[in-house]
């Protein structure tokens, strides 16, 4: 079992990442920490608790972190995720409580008390992780590795050059990418292969559980906003790709590269400048290039099925 801390900003695809982590026997989800990104921190934190409530996630710490980027003003993605950050399904009152600790302190505590077996999986802006690195630099040695959704080497989705998670807090990303830990960048080049097609949604719907209904409603809302905003027929489900890489590294191909974060460009702020040829510097990242699409969706469908299984709920 691989232990992970999922640092997220739910977010439709963050919600799918929570479900994949919780429903996969290869993963022990130690904590869900939240950050401002897709929506404000109060909303992403409420959404994490909502997803946990529907999925019956009760033994996982949930803690709220930073409510804005290190230096810049927060820019949200309400145009994709809606006013609530998780528009589409309707939720009752969440029954899962927030831990009183700040996510940055919780991340530090969990890593420092560990024997080096915890993987960080950030799927939002990297503010919490950068703050944790600055407050307790020994976490760099303690973390087993960091596998993040963010960046891209061929495209942007927020500007022509920049992916949203890096664009929102490039200074934080610069800290994380230069920290010196084993880092995997699962960027848009990879996640745009993970499309929630009608066939995939049919498989999930056929499971017929509350969690499968939640997943389908989330993906149907995501489909509409993605169609309107980006001209996709089926929406790319970014964040669970990072979790899938931890579950089974063979689910995607990665290539070593030097990745620098652009923080000053007039048109390119937040760009992950990726050098596969060693001109700019030594390798600091494994960069995801090619997804085993069938294997990815099998992992996702199996996880949702497992969450719905009575044996899991009873335990
Ligand atoms: C997705 C996101 C933000 C903006 C758009 N247009 C689409 C969120 C997702 O939650 C994911 O983590 C990452 N940011 C993809 O850029
Ligand atoms: Ca996200």
From 33, 78, 58, 10, select the one nearest 215 (Cα to Cα): 10
pLDDT of 311: 36
Starting at the edge strand found earlier in the chain, the sheet holding 2-8 runs: 61-64, 27-34, 2-8, 118-122, 145-149, 183-186, 285-291, 252-261, 272-275
From 183, 200, 290, select the one nearest 237 (Cα to Cα): 200
Cβ atoms of 118 and 5 within 8 Å: the answer is: yes
**Which residue in 22, 81, 192, 238 is the catalytic one?**
238
pLDDT of 309: 52
For residue 314, pLDDT over 60 is answered with: no
In the chain, % of residues over pLDDT 90? 97
**Residue that is written with structure tokens 């409603």 in the block:** 217
Q: Which of 39, 43, 122, 164 to mutate to test the pocket of ligand 1 (most atoms within 8 A of CB)?
A: 164
| Span from the CA of 164 to the centroid of ligand 1 (angstroms) | 6
Question: Looking at the whole model, is its pTM more than 0.95?
Answer: yes
| Span from the CA of 284 to the centroid of ligand 2 (angstroms) | 22
Collapse the DSSP code of 163 into the 3-class scheme (helix H, G, I; strand E, B; otherwise coil) and give the result: coil
Non-local CB neighbours of 310 within 8 Å, separated by 6+ positions: none
| Span from the CA of 4 to the centroid of ligand 2 (angstroms) | 16
Given the candidates 3.40.50.2300, 3.90.245.10, 3.40.50.720, 3.30.70.930, the CATH classification of the domain at 2-307 is 3.90.245.10
Whole-number Cα distances in Å, 28 to 24, 33, 108: 8, 15, 18
pLDDT band at 310 (very low <50, low <70, confident <90, very high): very low
Give per-residue pLDDT as tens, 227-254. 999 999 999 999 999 999 999 999 999 9
pLDDT band at 313 (very low <50, low <70, confident <90, very high): very low
Cβ atoms of 39 and 164 within 8 Å: the answer is: no
Q: Report the atom number in ligand 1 closest to the C-alpha of 239.
A: 12
Give per-residue pLDDT as tens, 54-105. 999 999 999 999 999 999 999 999 999 999 999 999 999 999 999 999 999 9
Non-local CB neighbours of 209 within 8 Å, separated by 6+ positions: 304, 305, 307, 308
Q: Which ligand is nearest to the CA of 80?
A: 1
Residues 125-139 have a mean pLDDT of 99
Non-local CB neighbours of 114 within 8 Å, separated by 6+ positions: 3, 142
DSSP state of 140: H
In the chain, % of residues over pLDDT 70? 98
Does the active-site annotation cover 192?
Answer: no
pLDDT band at 303 (very low <50, low <70, confident <90, very high): very high
pLDDT band at 312 (very low <50, low <70, confident <90, very high): very low
Q: Which of 11, 20, 161 to mutate to test the pocket of ligand 1 (most atoms within 8 A of CB)?
A: 11
Residue boundaries of the structural domains of the chain: 2-307
| Span from the CA of 248 to the centroid of ligand 2 (angstroms) | 20
Q: Which ligand is nearest to the CA of 222?
A: 1
Cβ atoms of 234 and 263 within 8 Å: the answer is: no
Collapse the DSSP code of 198 into the 3-class scheme (helix H, G, I; strand E, B; otherwise coil) and give the result: helix
Q: Which ligand is nearest to the CA of 34?
A: 2
From 55, 16, 1, select the one nearest 196 (Cα to Cα): 16
Collapse the DSSP code of 188 into the 3-class scheme (helix H, G, I; strand E, B; otherwise coil) and give the result: helix
């Amino acid at each position: 079992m691989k232990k992970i801390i999922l640092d997220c900003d739910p977010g439709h695809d963050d919600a799918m990442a929570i479900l994949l982590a919780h429903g996969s026997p290869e993963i022990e989800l130690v904590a869900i920490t939240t950050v401002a990104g897709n929506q404000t921190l109060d909303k992403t934190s409420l959404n994490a608790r909502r997803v946990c409530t529907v999925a019956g996630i009760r033994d996982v710490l949930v803690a709220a972190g930073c409510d804005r980027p290190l230096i810049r003003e927060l820019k949200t993605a309400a145009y994709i995720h809606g006013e609530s950050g998780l528009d589409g399904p309707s939720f009752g009152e969440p029954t899962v409580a927030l831990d009183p600790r700040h996510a940055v302190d919780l991340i530090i505590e969990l890593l420092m008390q560990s024997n080096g077996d915890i993987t960080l999986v950030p799927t939002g802006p990297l503010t919490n992780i950068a703050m944790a690195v600055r407050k307790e630099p020994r976490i760099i040695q303690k973390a087993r590795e960091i596998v993040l959704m963010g960046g891209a080497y061929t495209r942007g989705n927020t500007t022509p050059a920049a992916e949203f998670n890096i664009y929102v807090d490039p200074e934080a990303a610069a800290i994380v990418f230069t920290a010196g830990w084993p880092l995997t960048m699962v960027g848009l080049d990879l996640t745009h292969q993970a499309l929630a097609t009608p066939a995939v949604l049919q498989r999930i719907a056929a499971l017929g559980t509350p969690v499968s209904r939640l997943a389908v409603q989330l993906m149907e809302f995501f489909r509409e906003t993605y169609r309107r905003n980006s001209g996709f027929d089926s929406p790319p489900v970014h964040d669970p790709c990072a979790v899938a890489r931890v579950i089974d590294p063979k689910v995607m191909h990665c290539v070593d590269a030097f990745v620098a974060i652009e923080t000053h460009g007039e048109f390119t702020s937040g760009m992950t400048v990726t050098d596969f040829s060693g001109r700019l510097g030594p390798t600091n990242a494994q960069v995801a290039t090619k997804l085993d699409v069938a294997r990815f969706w099998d992992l996702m469908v199996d996880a949702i099925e497992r969450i719905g299984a009575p044996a899991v709920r009873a335990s």
